[in-house]
Structure 1
Amino acid sequence: MSMPPISLPTIRLKPKANARAIRHGAPWVYDNEIVTDRRTKALAPGSIARLADAENGFLALVAVNPNSRIFARVLDRDEEADIDRDWIAARIKAALAHRDHLYDAPFYRLAHAEADGLPGVVIDRFGDTAVLQPNAAWADARADLFVEALQSVTGVSNVLLNGSGRARSLEGLTDQSSLLAGSITAPIPVQMNGATYIADLMEGQKTGLFFDQRPNHAFAQRLAKGGEVLDVFSHVGGFALATLAGGAATAMSVDSSAAALDLATRGAHEMGASDRFETRKGDAFDVMSALFEEGRRFDVVICDPPAFAPSKPALEKGLRAYERVALMAAKLVREGGYLGLCSCSHAADLEKFRTACNRGIGRAARSAQLIHTGFAGADHPLMPQLAESGYLKALFYRMMP
């Protein structure tokens, strides 16, 4: 799949494009920064090219997609690099070394795209199984090389390609998932923070489980000891099962997906916590409204919704949705209790998200202390030159008596 560097095509930045940003580590080049002609537009999505500045000075080897707003993604700053199986394996090996320092068991995000030197590539590991999500054309075209590299470096037997997600559609890629190696016959139990989650890798959301919330689950455990917990937008049990493992008296999971709640119920059973766990299926806003009318109140309420602001055009609408979540959730927290509000929206930065949450709490006629700000775990590293790699925010408030 790779080509000798000497035979690679060259694409050039426009004279006013910021070549210095690329030299200083910026990973993306947008379509309006590239000199585009018939030749560059004809490059196959996923092909490798040399990126040069306006004076034709070499900047980096890049993966090209003329169909994407992100025209080029930086792969390597070595002009002689060969983007082959060994190159991919070396990046995975470096990523694995970091995770081996962090975790005793092989359940984590193994590769976090640009931050791990694999632009657009997400790999989650579930023991003997890896879920590959190639969100860039270059990686999608080399899925077979990723399988070989994953198996040689990690020893996994099973590799699933997950084709879902907005990022793939922006690259012009299909949304089909497929088993690339081995077999997956059933959902996989995952131990995390003392809780047992059941991850459905074939039919579940994203790659089957959200590893990114691990440290925020752990913080919530400390708040919930002996208390009653409400986990809204719970997916497969998220915060609810974590708090039960940490000593919560009871926990309720709310989600619109019956399948996700079934997996959460299975997880509670595996933990021996079925008698302390309940679920409620429905629209999160409708359920929160109903719980308020029923007079239900909780010691800890945590809301971890999907991305309400996945892009800049959706930002204002998304912030209003986060404000509404905060308003409704704050009303369900007992005095002196705790409220956790999360966002995985790239477009809503921490300041905007915090402002929306604060406004919602104020509209609920509640006063609160902001006691903790959480982010994704260390298996989701942030690339300093790419703000989008630090998407997850979690705000924890104490609701004042």
Structure 2
Amino acid sequence: MTTRPTVRLRPQANARRIRHGFPWVYANELVTDRRTKALAAGSIATLEDNDRRPLATVAITPASKIICRVLDLDPNADIATDWIKARISAAYTHRERLYDTPFYRLIHAEADDLPGVVIDRFGDVAVMQPNAAWADQLQDVLADALVEVTGVTTVIKNASGRARSLEGLDEENAVLCGAAPDFIEVPMNGAIYIADMIAGQKTGLFFDQRDNHAFVKSLSQGATVLDVFSHVGGFSLAALAGGAASAVAVDGSAAALDLATRGADLAGFADRFKTRQGDAFDVMTQMQQNGLGFDVVICDPPAFAPNKNALDAGLRAYERVARLGANLIVPEGGYLTLCSCSHTATPDKFRLACVRGIGRAGRRAQLIRTGYAGPDHPQHPQLAESGYLKALTFRIF
């Protein structure tokens, strides 16, 4: 292995935290001399503590607030094909134990020991987001390892998202191997979802809500259902699979609603499914003004609080969603599921915002379930950001 650069922690940095598995080094924890600043983004380096004792193998991005990502606690680890294959193989073994169909999140970044890398599997197709500079540079090695370990035949690079811009990376999508289909049918919870492989959000479908979809499905026999911020019909199609009398999907994207309609048609739900395009807040307000009510309402908005600076405004938005959603539950009562994918909105803060919103609607509630992402989205035990998803289901009176 060729000699590689070394970088060193500042005296005030907590080396023990790194030894115990914390996966990041922040810019204010690292000695950033001229030599360190000159390193190319994505460079593999040896991290030393303040006494120059080797700590770990890291990838460095000098311009990022997360200046180092810990790749391996072995300071001499060779970050090459065999290393990558071993990480993918360990993650693959876990998913194959969980699911009997090849549709799941295969790699969940730091929690699967591949920092900054997200990979979702859609049968023979894998969609990869190399959101860190080191992974972007090794994208072909990652793709080859994916094919060898899992047997997929197509690997698509999705370069959208805020994380890549923070690393100074481009937004250019690419097919790294194989031939990419435009759409893939994904069976899940008795429904059929249509994933857009090329122009869809993120990797084309959100697998993280699988278990929360299943719970809403269990509540939906004979129910009227409203699915707000529906994307491709995640909750509404699952509810129809559970025997819902009807479901309405609301989203701002006509393309997403078209895919939801296609999924409903394929599953035989078309006669019970409707869509409404528009701003979710406006649509919910209009529905309330028109006296509409539903037995089950789900609101799964985008991240209203993507960072700490947006937290206060984000919590107010979640409170407003809760108020509007509670107002649309039929007077005799029903169920309201409220979701957040903002890691800065901690479970306690999100729950309190939801409770305030329900109270402002003049309704009472029982919290009957707290849900998170499924087990194919493991949480890194030292990284709160990896436990971003919360789904609270209330019984409304």
Q: In which range does the TM-score fall when normalised by the shorter chain? A: over 0.9
Residue 36 of structure 1 corresponds to which residue in structure 2?
32
Task: Give the equivalent residue in structure 2 for 1:179.
Answer: 175
Name structure 1 gaps, 5 residues minimum: none
Aligned to 1:326: 322
| 1:385 and 2:382 are equivalent in the alignment | yes
Structure 2 runs not aligned, ≥5 long: none
**Counterparts of 1:327 and 1:259 in 2: how far apart (Å)?**
28
Corresponding residue for 2:245?
249
Counterpart of 1:218 in 2: which secondary structure? helix
Q: Percent identity?
A: 67
Quick check: 1:65 aligned with 2:61?
yes
Offset at 1:112? 0.2
Q: Which residue does the alignment assign to 1:282?
A: 278
Q: Which amino acid aligns with 2:26?
A: Y
Q: CA deviation at 1:271?
A: 0.4
**Which of 338, 341, 352 is the matching residue for 2:338?**
341
Give the SS at the match of 1:254. Answer: strand
For residue 295 of structure 2, give the secondary structure of its aligned residue in structure 1.
strand
Moved beyond 4 Å, runs of 4+: none
Write the letter of the residue equivalent to 1:64: I
Q: Distance in 2 between matches of 1:320 and 1:170?
A: 26
Instruction: Tell me the CA shift for residue 81 of structure 1.
Output: 1.6
Is the 2:47–2:75 Cα contact (8 Å) retained in structure 1? no
1:371 paired residue number? 368
CA distance in 1, matches of 2:340, 2:391: 7
Partner Cα separation in structure 2 for residue 174 and residue 286 of structure 1 = 35
Structure 1 match to 2:222: 226
Query: So what's the TM-score if we normalise by structure 1?
Result: 0.98
SS in 1 for 2:44: strand
Q: CA deviation at 1:336?
A: 2.2
Moved more, 391-400 or 166-175: 166-175
How far apart are 1:186 and its partner, in Å?
Answer: 2.5
Shift of 1:176: 1.6
Deviation at 1:223, TM superposition (A): 1.1
Q: Deviations over 1:49-104 (max 9, x none)?
A: 00000000111000000011100000011123210011111100000000000000
Amino acid at match of 2:343: H
Cα RMSD (Å): 0.7
User: Which residue of structure 2 lines up, in the alignment, with residue 16 of structure 1?
Assistant: 12
SS in 1 for 2:100: coil
Q: Is 1:352 matched up with 2:349?
A: yes
Q: Secondary structure at the match of 1:17?
A: coil
List per-residue Cα deviations over 1:190-248 (Å, max 9, x = no partner): 00111100000101111000000000000001111110000000000010000000111
Q: 1:127 aligns with which of 120, 123, 126?
A: 123
TM-score of the pair, normalised by structure 2: 0.99
Q: What secondary structure does 1:124 align onto? A: strand
- Within the candidate set 70, 76, 79, 2:72 is matched to 76
SS at match of 1:51: strand
- Residue of structure 1 equivalent to 2:41: 45
The separation in 1 between residues aligned to 2:353 and 2:171, in whole angstroms, is 33
**Residue 307 of structure 1 aligns to a residue in which SS?**
coil
Distance in 1, matches of 2:38 and 2:341, equals 35
Hey, what's the Cα distance between the residues in 1 that align with 2:180 and 2:110? 28
Deviation string 1:144-176 (CA, Å, 9 cap, x unpaired) is 101110011011111100001111111111112
**Correspondence for 2:300:** 304
Q: C-alpha offsets along residues 249-283 of structure 1, whole Å, 9 cap, x if unaligned?
A: 10000000000000000000000000000000000
- Structure 1 counterpart of 2:135, from 135, 139, 150: 139
Corresponding residue of 1:397: 394
- What amino acid is the match of 1:358? V
